[in-house]
Structure 1
Amino acid sequence: MTSSNINLNAEPERIERIPITLTGDGAWCWFADPRALRHVNAATGSDKTYIGYIDVAGSIQAVQYDHVTQERKQVRVREGFQQDDHNNPTFLALRDGRVMIFYAEHSTTPYFYYRVTARPDDLETLGPEKIIDTTGYGNTTYPSPFVMTDQPGYFYLLWRGMNWHPTVARYTLPDPDGDVTCAMEPKQIMDSRCSEQETGKRPYAKYETNGKDKIMMTYTYTHPDNMIPNSLYYSYLDVNTLTLHGADGHQLADLNRGPLKLDNNETDPAHLVDRQPRIRNWNWDIAVDKEGYPVILFVRINEDKDRHHYCYAKWSGSDWRITPLADGGRWFHQNDQRELCYSGGMTLDHNNPSIVYMSIPVQGAYGEVFEIHQCVIAHDGVIVEINQVTENSTHNNVRPFVVRHAALGEAYDLIWMHGDYYYWDHSQGRLGYTTGLRTLCEIVAIEDEGKTDPSA
């Protein structure tokens, strides 16, 4: 028998999770979702995560990770698109297992571009690029697609479109050739303009769905640069009646008759989430808790835009309960002339919206750097704990995103941008988003030798 090198006195191994680079060249905005999703297909046994982003050359990119084989594949969806981080792609998993991927330019054309996989579960089989033409209904930005069980033959697409306002339309699910048909013409959801001649006001919306008949949304009165105070609202759309409702269910508008008229002085407690004197609100995420109530992440930005305070709002059944989460510092990027309302960012775990991830500036080994933190919030809104996820980073970690349907603690559950960021536009010689994407990787830490094995 040969001798063994096993140390019988060694401490047991432990599993740690450390940041790894998913791509060194990639970025996304936070208003087009889902930017990434995990899809388990019971019919085929597939379990994959799809992650989308745009690179500095303007190419639409996707990563496909197979949780069964642990194989990762890179898929270029569209080469040489607009060099703008607003243009990150979004995903929709269809009932037949095929996957749709959507992308659009930043409000410069009336077109959505999309591709559909020829086979279930596999982005490497994407079919030809096709177009949804929205001519006459505004240009396109931020595609957010949903399938609802009450409308099983269709998908809903929401975006910033008509008059630069949130817009909704319904389309048939793709046929075998990937073609879709408009089944409901686009409708503007709300209107914050005092008159049709007024321009510049553009509500920013985030969406979520109960998967059956409601599309929940939180939106601002306009861009926080343009108004102070800038109010934050909530409503849901009943897809069967196309009526808009407050959190308590009362009707706010009938889209068949026209959009909801927004008033920055709104006081309806089921509609208005937050308005503070001299504060610019901006929304970051919305999810639905186990009771079916909406949960919203937003930031309160001061008049000078140099203090960003993160907040968590939850509908109690009768009012909005707001929990201040953390001081988010100021803008995160290396440009102090533009986009000073760009916070480090926040995201909810949509499986369990009591869990929040935040990007917060921290003094570390390389000075003040934005680091990712996890925050756990009790049912009554009390903060249970805050844990730092990244530390002593050389560059900022911002715009975190919990992958839709991911299981926290498993591969590719949380993804964020890492690196230097100057502007959302990287064209015409501008220095824009020189960032990559990171996620967490499990390693085995060997206690007695102080070593780690990242291949574990």
Structure 2
Amino acid sequence: MRTPKRIAVTTAATLAAAVGLGAPAPPAGGARGDGPIGAGAWSWFGDPRAVYYEGAHRRTYVGWISTHGNVRVASIDGDTGRIHTVTLKHGLGVDDHNDPSLLMLPGGRLEVFYSPHSGRFLPPKGIPKRMYYRVMRRPEDVTSFGSTHVLHTNTPGRLGWTYPNPVYLSREHRTWLFWRGGNWMPSFSTRRDGSSWTDARTLIRTRRGRRPYVKVASDGRRTIDIAFSEDNPDHIRTGIYYFRYRAGHYEHADGRRIPGGHPLDEFDADRVRPEKPGRASAWVHDVASDSQGKPAIVYVTYPSVHDLRYRYARWDGHRWLDHEIVAAGKPLNGPYAGGISLDHENPSIVYLSRRIHGVFEVEQWITVDDGRHWAHRAVTRHSSENNVRPVTPRGETGHYTVLWMHGRYRRYTEYVTTITRKGIGRAHRLF
């Protein structure tokens, strides 16, 4: 098995110094609020799963679907470590696709979107196909959520709403909501401050795939990054594609505008790693841009059913660079890897879960040369149960917090897992 180019322990100081991280140090921990938050799970296609906001308080907000099928949101106070948890909806269904997505609005009010996993035979009888949302009445207060609203627009078809991904662009005073729509294609609607939602439109319709999978990120001002794969790699051979929305137009990473309207397809977008005969399928896991607007994408490839690989694609200002990070090992279940995500405040930092001595462990990986070389450190180690689908809170800078699922995961409707949190120190203590 080929190994990636990695910085050895003896050269970690060189890498750390290059980004101002200081000398190597043991993994940090012991932050207030560390440990289990609540029993439940999440998918990686509905985001943000966690956000950070500093106003009157320094708080992290986390959402998940509980082991009993209830939508839950918690706030974790950064000063006291105190955790407040509320249930926004009972009985949405035991399915990790049902996890809520969190949007921090200007002024510190949290808006939360959630829907049941929907399709031809989903959700189960008695659970309606709907997209719900609720918003805080008081800033930074999870006990103040208002009444439940229902999104009354969708693309044609009877396949419901799945995977909400909300974004707020301050320059437009507009909320964008993306989801998998009634036609099973990535869909969206927008809402200006104080107005109603626009009619839903199909964002992407690939030429080969039945149901494209999309990841969304934003700078919160005028840009939305969009990365996608044509389908689930269990169904067809799949690749990785990218485009962005900026100031009223869709464009490539190099700034060239994409002509035409909706929907877009894989030939309109940047073909970061296009599918082709003889090439392993790829499945997108995350996208984010750095402070200069250069996007990064992390994804999984499938050379064989028992050999999954984590990869990192980065736009360097002229072209897409694409490098393997590390072998992910055997899947968690079906095509599911342990999970990989980007730090959205610094996409040179990656969090991933891979098998180590038969158990999935979470690690932090960092590159300073667009993915050519890597250094890494353990977030979890010597675990008795799996740690999967790590993610960092959006909006958190200057220190590092990781959240993940800990426990037994068999499939998307069978899990005994706990959302777990760990603070791993400030930037200068990373290595």
When normalised by structure 1's length, the TM-score is 0.80
Please state if 1:246 is matched with 2:258.
no
> Which residue of structure 2 aligns with residue 122 of structure 1?
141
Partner of 1:315: 315
> Could you say which structure has the greater relative contact order, defined with CA pairs below 8 angstroms and 6 or more residues apart?
2
Q: Determine which of 189, 192, 204 is the counterpart of 1:169.
A: 189
CA distance in 2, matches of 1:384, 1:192: 34
How do 1:337-416 residues align onto structure 2 when only pairs under 5 Å count? Answer: 340-363=334-357, 368-407=358-397, 409=399, 413-416=401-404
**Residues 236 and 247 in structure 1, CA contact (< 8 A), matched pair in contact too:** yes
How far 1:318 moved relative to its partner?
2.0
Decide whether the 8 Å contact of 1:234 with 1:273 is kept in 2: no
SS where residue 143 of structure 2 aligns? Answer: helix
CA offset at residue 221 of structure 1?
1.3
Give the secondary structure class of the aligned counterpart of 2:183: helix
8 Å contact kept, 2:27–2:378: no
1:234-273 to 2 correspondences below 5 Å: 234-238=242-246, 240=248, 243-255=249-261, 258-262=262-266, 270-273=270-273
Distance 1:272 1:16 in 2: 36
Instruction: State whether residues 359 and 384 of structure 2, in contact with CA within 8 Å, keep that contact through their aligned partners in structure 1.
Output: yes
Sort the Cα spacing of 1:382 and 1:123 in 2 relative to 1 into closer, same or farther, 3 A: same
Residues 293 and 442 of structure 1: CA distance in aligned 2, closer, same or farther (over 3 Å):
closer
Task: Give the aligned partner of residue 92 of structure 1.
Answer: 103
2:29 corresponds in structure 1 to: 17
Provide the C-alpha distance between the structure 1 equivalents of 2:317 and 2:394, rounded to a whole number of angstroms: 25
Change (3 A) 1:136 1:440: closer
Offset from partner CA, 1:264-320 (integer Å, 9 cap, x none): xx8x7x343344624110011111012211000011112x42211000100112211
User: Structure 1 CA distance, aligned partners of 2:54 and 2:30?
Assistant: 25
Structure 2 residue aligned with 1:447: none
Paired position in structure 2 for 1:305: 305
Q: Deviations over 1:67-100 (max 9, x none)?
A: 2343211111111112210011111111232211
- C-alpha displacement of 1:24: 5.2
**Alignment of structure 1 residues 172-191 onto 2, 5 Å:** 172-173=192-193, 181-182=196-197, 184-191=198-205
1:287 counterpart residue number: 288
- The reply to whether residue 34 of structure 1 matches residue 48 of structure 2 is yes
Q: Kindly state the Cα deviation for residue 386 of structure 1 after the two structures are TM-superposed.
A: 1.5
Helix, strand or coil at the partner of 1:124 = helix
- 3-state DSSP of counterpart to 1:191: coil
- Is the Cα contact below 8 Å between 2:301 and 2:309 reproduced in 1? yes
Q: Percent identity?
A: 31
Q: Does structure 2 retain, via aligned residues, the 8 Å contact 1:110–1:135?
A: no
Q: Find the residue that maps to 1:23 and give its secondary structure.
A: strand
| Aligned equivalents of 2:360, 2:373: Cα separation in 1 | 21
- What is the alpha-carbon distance in structure 2 between the residues aligned to residue 54 and residue 83 of structure 1? 7
SS where residue 17 of structure 1 aligns? coil
CA-atom RMSD in angstroms: 2.3
Instruction: Select 1:417's aligned residue among 405, 408, 415.
Output: 405
Kept in 2: contact 1:273–1:320 (CA 8 A) = no
Asked if 1:232 corresponds to 2:224, the answer is no
Aligned amino acid, residue 320 of structure 1: W
How many Å separate the matches in 2 of 1:38 and 1:90? 13
Question: For residues 371-421 of structure 1, what are the alpha-carbon distances to aligned partners after superposition, in whole Å with 9 as ceiling and x for unaligned?
Answer: 1111111134332412122111001111000111224645xx110111111
Residue 219 of structure 1, aligned match among 215, 225, 228: 228
Report the counterpart of residue 446 of structure 1 in structure 2. none
Unaligned runs of 5+ in 2: 1-25, 426-431
Q: How far apart are the structure 1 equivalents of 2:325 and 2:331?
A: 17
Match of 2:93 in 1: 82
Closer/same/farther in 2, CA of residues 253 and 137 from structure 1, 3 Å limit = farther
Look up the SS of the partner of 2:258 in the other structure.
strand
Q: Which residue of 1 aligns with 2:206?
A: 192
Structure 1 gaps of 5+ residues are 1-13, 195-199, 334-339, 426-431, 444-456
| Structure 1 residue identity aligned to 2:84 | K
Counterpart in the other structure of 2:6: none
Deviation at 1:143, TM superposition (A): 0.8
106 and 252 in structure 1: CA distance in 2 versus 1, 3 angstrom threshold: same
Show CA shifts across 1:139-182 (max 9, x none).
21111111112211x21101111521111210133x5xxxx611
Q: 1:262 to 1:354 in 2, by over 3 A?
A: closer
- Whole-Å separation in 1 of the counterparts to 2:424 and 2:266: 47
Corresponding position of 1:336: none
Quote how far apart the aligned CAs of 1:134 are: 2.1
Report the CA distance between 1:437 and its aligned residue: 1.4
Q: CA deviation at 1:238?
A: 3.2
Asked if the contact 1:110/1:134 (under 8 Å) is kept, the reply is: no
Residues 168, 377 of structure 1: alpha-carbon distance in 2 compared, 3 angstrom cutoff: same
Give yes or no for contact 1:246–1:271 (8 Å, CA) kept in 2.
Answer: no
- In the alignment, the residues of structure 2 paired with residue 136 and residue 166 of structure 1 have an alpha-carbon distance, to the nearest angstrom, of 9
| Match among 157, 164, 168 for residue 177 of structure 2 | 157
Between Structure 1 and Structure 2, how many residues are aligned?
387
Classify 1:274/1:325 alpha carbon distance in 2 versus 1 (closer, same or farther; 3 Å): farther
Residue in structure 2 matched with residue 140 of structure 1 by the alignment = 161
Q: Structure 1 residues 442 and 95 mapped into 2: Cα distance closer, same or farther (>3 Å)?
A: closer
8 A contact 2:402–2:423 mirrored in 1: no
Q: Does 1:210 align with 2:219?
A: yes
Q: Deviations over 1:84-132 (max 9, x none)?
A: 1001111111123221111011125553101111111111111111111
**How far, CA to CA, are the matches of 1:391 and 1:326 in structure 2?**
17
Find the counterpart in structure 1 of residue 116 from structure 2: 105
Give the structure 2 partner of residue 436 of structure 1.
418
Larger Rg: 1
SS of aligned partner of 1:383:
coil
Which one-letter code corresponds to 1:50 in the other structure? Y
